[in-house]
Structure 1
């Protein structure tokens, strides 16, 4: 047998070798190598593979780059704390030691494991890992891209090679991830940046490195040695890490599209545990994911597919040849090191860089000016448009102004373009001068077409969004510097310029030509010569600031400066102040680093609209951030929406007195003279239009600033986070006799001695409901004291270190402690014990805050049997600590049916985590006695009287249902709920109807019982499993419910009975994503004896059997099966509407059983229709159902399932 295996191995090796190029490279011409190894964290380190890699690296010395392609950590690491890595992940430590000792450059690219397996807190996990790896290796930025951003990061290797590094898990990650922090608004921005990077380097040898492959014949690509249920699911539907998953499909499609046409592009990935290679569309694709184990790979779908442990190597030669090598130690890592595959990919001669400045040296726009308007999109004479969308700043946008022409060759001594800026509504470029200073060009016009969903493009809704840009003052930013100087707030110094059709812009020429732009300095790195940035020697971004802030207490945020800047924002009505709109000036003082904020991008200053639609949009329940620049602000809390995380991170220590004092200081500094002088910096052509109005509003807002400060403070003070560091601190909290809470934080020395004070604030009971202390890392100490029954609530989240707690004389209702289960708490005080083995107990999420919302509710429905139904109501959503997706949700709705006048009153309540992990659900459903139903008798072959009066089988009844349940969630998709319910039913004896004409015991109807009010008390147990991608318009996933109910009759003639039900729905997308949807549903129900006829299990139109009337068949038991094929014909766009339209074909089967009846008949309904999905937010279906009984048309605002 061994001889047979040996012969097969030799034969396979011969086949592989014969498939390679016969030529070999000239080793003496080798100038650089890039080594790729992935998924080393999948199993224990294979020493033979590491030794083989180490040996080759040592030979290359510093003429090599080492790239770890992700999943470099073990599966168990993702939720571990930083201090546990060294002892808990020896695989990683070996890799870090290898990289640390390597003389060349090392790069760690993340995979899904570094992102906490793609789950919640993945961003936090990757940030922690980045810090640890870079601190351990000590070579700067080696974990790329940084900050959890997607990239691309361009690494130049010599003059003719560029390595593009991308974090592909960022695209797939469904939980919280950075966007604005990376200068992006969504994934489309990333694709633009990636496309630019490819274009910039089109003449070089491009290597694209990420974790997830575009092509693979491994298991993630849907290839398995055998197909069982799990394998079939992964092949058809996929996990988020499989090719079949929609987001992955989209990523692969965009990757292929972007790479098409680049014959000098090599894409290297990992993810599947094998070595693979193929050439597609003249580009080259490599999989190198068998760093520590090998797994199944199909040999038919790639040019090379090896189930062997090893790594790949790209060699670059001075004769411009690029070669691929695959090195292996065999399937199990037990064979001798060998070159398993080698081939030449391409030869690419890199032309010398074209110096555009030199080529167009005679082109000069210095001292040129042009008169041009900011935009002609917003001019209108229509009174209705101005009424509904507002007058806004239309005149300012359409009025031509004289501006200088921007000359990229002479401005600041000559500028070169570094990259395109992120953000979809604004076109921007980052530029650099010869002295290293950076600048930004940012378009005055905004482009909303990329910021709206595809279904809305070209529609009336898209026009409204674009027209909304007229609410922004086009030149507001240039009025800010003088006001900021007076207020003591750092600022840029923008000016308006015109960018001509200038070939020196290279690949950016077409997108940026012939428009107005704001040109300003970019605060970055050393700005010691800039007074407007505090002469700082180091400017950093918010993400880097947070990283330093959490590391230890050496960095101090100047909250006084933050408060000044935020009150200045309120004065200007600048609502767009999210994290990425700030840079930070850092100043070294007395061994500490002081950080002060630098606001930037003042595009939304003076934002205003008087239209009715914008008024509706800025309601508290919609988009409250769009507050307008009025003399008296309507909603100053809404104005802070975009800065909701920023404010709660960087304004933790200031009291109400601090806010009022700062407001009064600004009120004094922002004099009438300063305001008037600043507004005169606006272009003279538009100054006369609205300058007086702006000046008057600024003066009014300045005078109101103390009141506005108190209003804003009162909201922020309700719940306050106090966050420590990964160093060691002492937290002291004490209630006074009035219930106010005093919190002090001090740094602790290594010996446990209290050092300098880091925080000191007294929280007043009438201002603050709750204070939350997060210790983060380090061995923190918490000393809590004070007994008051109704004081400020205190929650303490210890952190990852071995913390000490001492709690004395406290009431249980006042204190809750969250930490590891083994944590010891000393003292005689009472507290709510939230200690847990779950490591997420110590997680701090700086973006956990959410607003409470009261919003309107509505209902619209039309079914041929019931007619038009309209409903109105409201929803109340409240937030609570660590409860997702909210603390509670209450829905109130009143429906009215017009065809047969009747009303329905509905309430549903969902309260999360009321009893630890149990949710409380409540329900009230009341229908007036005119509520309509149908009855044809019990049985599977009841007759449908052929009468002209279609109302003959209708019944009238009143119904009241009350229910209360506890729900236990199981993972992300399942839940079990159980609880009591009360049901009251009242059947009305309507003359000349089937229900009264045939009411006798032989027909299951009894005048003495069925027409009396029936009352039941019962219990219900329900299991729900929901993996649908969309609850309204599902295209993939499953929805399965199982329930059991027991009804106990409360009146004399009421009987006890049970009802059991199951309903399983299955959705899959066929072919192109979401073009064709196959939906399958099967269900069954069973009643025990004792039920009334209207409690029978029913088949019919609205529920489960199309082609028959509603409630057509009723019995003890039922089974049904529904099949839908939903095909999208087209996407449509008109000025007033956008969305999708398609065809629907269906086929239904079902039957009921009745005790004592003998029937073998199955009822069959079939048909088709059309569906329309406006904006993909809802669906309208028009169906024509057929059966042996009749043909029925129905119109519904939903799919049947």
Structure 2
């Protein structure tokens, strides 16, 4: 302990250069004081503030008096070494004659590096720059004292003005006259802050490799927990793997890796205002700082990968002890003194607000920490080593499950020495355990007979593994019957053929090879979700000359799970209103990817006032009158209900076989009955009709984007069969096909499409094959021609003409198209083809994830305007 204290004193000696014994700054190191505005550009009126947030604009636009560095005298004279361009900030590393290193970091940050990628992709540079005002300019000054209070040591930042001085050399243009902080660094690598007892530091990825390869290396999980609790307390939403370095300490004769929290620029960030709050809905890690804590999953999202690796072994008692230490040391006086580190002028503006918010968060922190513990332990991740390991999982009783990792004896195959990992799970808290064996010849033994237990997943790696399940989790067939049936609570994953398996009554085995991670980011900090859930929504906005405006909303619920890509299941509801024919539509879609291996099950239900809005007669040369259309003579009213289930089986990537079963009910009332005079099956389809249909088809899709494809192709074909049951007068079959190809050269995309179909048998008239409208021939009214066979060809040239930078960043383009198509009717000798041509425009953002397109089509008999939230094919 004396040795540690002595080293800390030595490390703090450089600060005596800038502080006298009374704690005042040595004035000889500065050339007077200057009053500067941290960010005059963030001044905004009420409308801008309402839209883009009040943030900390009042602090940015308040002048502060700060000392100006004397470059000739500071630390004996400073030599500029290099310009650091890290992920978060741009800073300068400076060296004094005495061999000390200092890092100068400007207060105003580069917004392109501060804000999340999702936000940068949609907002123009002016708005992005404006959102720097969300951060508190002097936040590191406050954070330093609060971190010190809980024994998380960091360099003390000194607020100063870097003079616009020729001594800065080539850096004078970019850094001269900037307001910022300067802090001490003990070595030349300013990012690896060595305020610790070792010169050995590692990045997060380096540490995770080391811990996997060397079982004797130990991480100080309690110190990391303390740092993460402070992240939450300070509202620091940006704590990804690159925000940490790790140093080895020697504590009580043992060495442990301890965290070095880097850069506290994003503490106390505010994301108020209409636009930032809307962005936070899609990017939950944008957490607004105030008296209330956000959802624990959101505030800890950026650091989730490290949390799952490093915090699961901590017991609830230990967790509560660390929490109590943090709460007890963040006293009122500590908080007040920390906030008073703000410049006096800034304190008068924001000091009271910060003090009240921090005290309130402190008072509610124990409850938040409890939620954090539950969140981390809901799914427990355990990582073995790349050596030979012995894992023992004991299902002790209905309340507890024990996980122990040992070294494995190469000779006997048994366990050696003391365990290097131990976890006692609370079964009410932990629903799932995932044990990653990594490489090596590992052995797993699962024991215990219980009625309730978490699901245990064992993920094997390279090597000859031995997986044994001697456990049983009792259950009942179909959950509610009295018939005993063991639950499947153990799953082995190992694609090696040399793996030795001993399955129990409730063991499942997955021997499929899972793709290896492409890089360290995918391995140690993957973006995708493999647990939990998420909400989202899509707007429904369409327009056509037939339907007028269609507006609605479609909320979506996503459930994620292990190796379920992109999700385990998705539930999607929709409600839309059609203003022109005054009709409504509600829908539900459920997509389930885990019910059958390598398959997707989709359930779809649609209820609408009408399926078709018009019927113009049967045949390829039916007459059309604009006046009759305006008078509603072609109107088709009624009710429509569709319910279906599809099973899609993926043979290879992009190719799937789809089988479906559908039920359709409709009540069709045609305003002009004579339009069915040429229909060969009379008025079959009028009134109420119920049909059951089975379908089988294939889908091949290599498009790079479903909303706006630029490369690839789509081919799908399906054969439907409707038997003579329910209201069907006879059975009939329908074959449909659709092929699309996309070719892009620079800013030009050629989109080609051929589609059509054929019906055999006696069918209701609403089940005819149609051409016309935005689906194929855009110059005609929707479903303009009806027959028992159809074919259309479409070609569209799309050209990007400009990048748009108004409020959001996007691409604007124009398109021209030509189309031709027709229907075929038995015994009709028609050779007529129906041409359509026109032009359109489109706008896309977020790498074409959101697209709005519109077109106007022309034909010899009419024209048609349509808008959609995607390209029209």
Report the TM-score when normalising by structure 2: 0.87
Tell me, in whole angstroms, the C-alpha distance in 1 between the residues paired with 2:150 and 2:243.
Answer: 19
Deviation per residue, 1:803-860 (Å, 9 max, x gap): 2223213235221111124321247554111234567599976535455112233201
Structure 1 residues 605 and 1053, CA gap change in structure 2 (3 angstroms): closer
Structure 1 residues 1047 and 513, CA gap change in structure 2 (3 angstroms): farther
Contact 2:681 2:762 in 1 (8 A): no
Q: State how 1:374-523 maps to structure 2 within 5 Å.
A: 374-380=38-44, 382-406=45-69, 411-413=74-76, 414-423=78-87, 426-431=89-94, 439-448=102-111, 463-521=126-184
Tell me, in whole angstroms, the C-alpha distance in 1 between the residues paired with 2:646 and 2:309.
Answer: 38
- The answer as to 2:245 corresponding to 1:565 is no
Structure 1 residues 623 and 1173, CA gap change in structure 2 (3 angstroms): closer
Contact 1:789 1:813 in 2 (8 A): no
Structure 1 residues 744 and 480, CA gap change in structure 2 (3 angstroms): same
Q: Which runs of 5+ in 2 are unaligned?
A: 1-27, 474-486
Q: CA deviation at 1:649?
A: 1.8
Between 495-504 and 562-571, the greater mean CA deviation after superposition: 495-504
- The answer as to 2:240 corresponding to 1:578 is yes
Q: CA deviation at 1:554?
A: 2.1
- The answer as to 2:619 corresponding to 1:939 is yes
Task: Give 1:1184's aligned residue.
Answer: 856
Task: Give 2:18's aligned residue.
Answer: none
- The answer as to 2:714 corresponding to 1:1050 is no
Q: CA deviation at 1:1066?
A: 1.4
- The answer as to 2:230 corresponding to 1:549 is no
Deviation per residue, 1:153-191 (Å, 9 max, x gap): xxxxxxxxxxxxxxxxxxxxxxxxxxxxxxxxxxxxxxx
Deviation per residue, 1:560-581 (Å, 9 max, x gap): 1111111122222222111111
The alignment partner of 2:556 has SS state of strand
Structure 1 residues 1151 and 859, CA gap change in structure 2 (3 angstroms): same
Q: State how 1:1128-1167 maps to structure 2 within 5 Å.
A: 1128-1134=800-806, 1136=807, 1139-1167=810-838
Q: CA deviation at 1:548?
A: 0.8
Tell me, in whole angstroms, the C-alpha distance in 1 between the residues paired with 2:525 and 2:507.
Answer: 25
Task: Give 1:756's aligned residue.
Answer: 418
Task: Give 2:22's aligned residue.
Answer: none
Tell me, in whole angstroms, the C-alpha distance in 2 between the residues paired with 1:1079 and 1:715.
Answer: 47
The alignment partner of 2:623 has SS state of coil
Structure 1 residues 917 and 400, CA gap change in structure 2 (3 angstroms): same
Higher RCO, 1 vs 2 (CA within 8 Å, ≥6 residues apart): 2
Task: Give 2:349's aligned residue.
Answer: 689
- Aligned counterpart in structure 2 of residue 899 of structure 1, from 554, 576, 580: 580
The alignment partner of 1:717 has SS state of helix
- Alignment RMSD, CA only? 3.1
Contact 2:617 2:676 in 1 (8 A): no
Q: State how 1:523-538 maps to structure 2 within 5 Å.
A: 533-538=195-200
Tell me, in whole angstroms, the C-alpha distance in 2 between the residues paired with 1:861 and 1:420.
Answer: 49
Tell me, in whole angstroms, the C-alpha distance in 2 between the residues paired with 1:738 and 1:454.
Answer: 45
Q: State how 1:36-75 maps to structure 2 within 5 Å.
A: none
Q: CA deviation at 1:616?
A: 4.1
Q: CA deviation at 1:582?
A: 1.0
Q: State how 1:915-954 maps to structure 2 within 5 Å.
A: 915-929=596-610, 931-945=611-625, 947-950=627-630, 951-954=632-635
The alignment partner of 1:560 has SS state of helix
Tell me, in whole angstroms, the C-alpha distance in 2 between the residues paired with 1:431 and 1:1063.
Answer: 65
Contact 2:634 2:670 in 1 (8 A): no
Contact 1:900 1:932 in 2 (8 A): no
Tell me, in whole angstroms, the C-alpha distance in 2 between the residues paired with 1:613 and 1:664.
Answer: 37
Deviation per residue, 1:728-785 (Å, 9 max, x gap): 2221111122242111122335545512321212111111110100111122221211
- Aligned counterpart in structure 1 of residue 509 of structure 2, from 801, 811, 833: 833
Task: Give 1:823's aligned residue.
Answer: 499
The alignment partner of 2:41 has SS state of coil
Q: CA deviation at 1:504?
A: 4.6
Structure 1 residues 1197 and 784, CA gap change in structure 2 (3 angstroms): closer
Structure 1 residues 828 and 1091, CA gap change in structure 2 (3 angstroms): closer
Contact 1:793 1:814 in 2 (8 A): yes
The alignment partner of 2:695 has SS state of strand
Q: CA deviation at 1:789?
A: 3.3
Contact 2:406 2:418 in 1 (8 A): yes
Q: CA deviation at 1:438?
A: 5.3
Task: Give 2:797's aligned residue.
Answer: 1125
Structure 1 residues 433 and 747, CA gap change in structure 2 (3 angstroms): farther
Q: CA deviation at 1:663?
A: 0.9
Structure 1 residues 1192 and 625, CA gap change in structure 2 (3 angstroms): closer
Q: CA deviation at 1:418?
A: 3.1
Contact 2:788 2:823 in 1 (8 A): yes
Contact 1:1004 1:1093 in 2 (8 A): no
Tell me, in whole angstroms, the C-alpha distance in 2 between the residues paired with 1:537 and 1:800.
Answer: 34
- The answer as to 2:363 corresponding to 1:703 is yes
Q: State how 1:617-1016 maps to structure 2 within 5 Å.
A: 617-619=279-281, 622-751=282-411, 752-811=414-473, 812-819=487-494, 820-826=496-502, 830-836=506-512, 847=526, 849-850=529-530, 851-929=532-610, 931-945=611-625, 947-950=627-630, 951-990=632-671, 993=672, 996-1000=673-677, 1002-1004=678-680, 1006-1007=682-683, 1009-1016=684-691
Contact 2:234 2:268 in 1 (8 A): yes
Tell me, in whole angstroms, the C-alpha distance in 2 between the residues paired with 1:647 and 1:744.
Answer: 19
**Number of residue-to-residue matches in the alignment:** 821
Q: CA deviation at 1:668?
A: 1.7
Q: State how 1:582-593 maps to structure 2 within 5 Å.
A: 582-587=244-249, 593=255
Between 599-608 and 940-949, the greater mean CA deviation after superposition: 940-949
Q: CA deviation at 1:1104?
A: 0.9
Contact 1:526 1:538 in 2 (8 A): no
Contact 1:798 1:818 in 2 (8 A): yes
Structure 1 residues 852 and 367, CA gap change in structure 2 (3 angstroms): same
Tell me, in whole angstroms, the C-alpha distance in 1 between the residues paired with 2:116 and 2:456.
Answer: 43
Task: Give 1:355's aligned residue.
Answer: none
The alignment partner of 1:685 has SS state of helix
Structure 1 residues 844 and 514, CA gap change in structure 2 (3 angstroms): closer
Q: Which runs of 5+ in 1 are unaligned?
A: 1-363
Task: Give 1:1029's aligned residue.
Answer: 704
Contact 2:305 2:524 in 1 (8 A): no
- Aligned counterpart in structure 2 of residue 373 of structure 1, from 4, 21, 37: 37
Between 815-824 and 1116-1125, the greater mean CA deviation after superposition: 815-824
Tell me, in whole angstroms, the C-alpha distance in 1 between the residues paired with 2:854 and 2:529.
Answer: 42
Contact 1:918 1:968 in 2 (8 A): yes
- Aligned counterpart in structure 1 of residue 759 of structure 2, from 1062, 1084, 1087: 1087
Task: Give 1:1059's aligned residue.
Answer: 734
Contact 1:524 1:538 in 2 (8 A): no
Q: State how 1:290-369 maps to structure 2 within 5 Å.
A: 367-369=31-33
Contact 2:721 2:731 in 1 (8 A): yes
Q: CA deviation at 1:584?
A: 0.8
Tell me, in whole angstroms, the C-alpha distance in 2 between the residues paired with 1:1188 and 1:560.
Answer: 77
Report the TM-score when normalising by structure 1: 0.64
Q: CA deviation at 1:437?
A: 6.2
Structure 1 residues 1053 and 718, CA gap change in structure 2 (3 angstroms): closer
Structure 1 residues 459 and 827, CA gap change in structure 2 (3 angstroms): closer
When you count strand as a share of all residues, which structure comes out higher? Answer: 2
Q: CA deviation at 1:525?
A: 8.7
Q: CA deviation at 1:465?
A: 3.8
Task: Give 1:601's aligned residue.
Answer: 263
Contact 2:201 2:246 in 1 (8 A): yes
Tell me, in whole angstroms, the C-alpha distance in 1 between the residues paired with 2:121 and 2:554.
Answer: 32
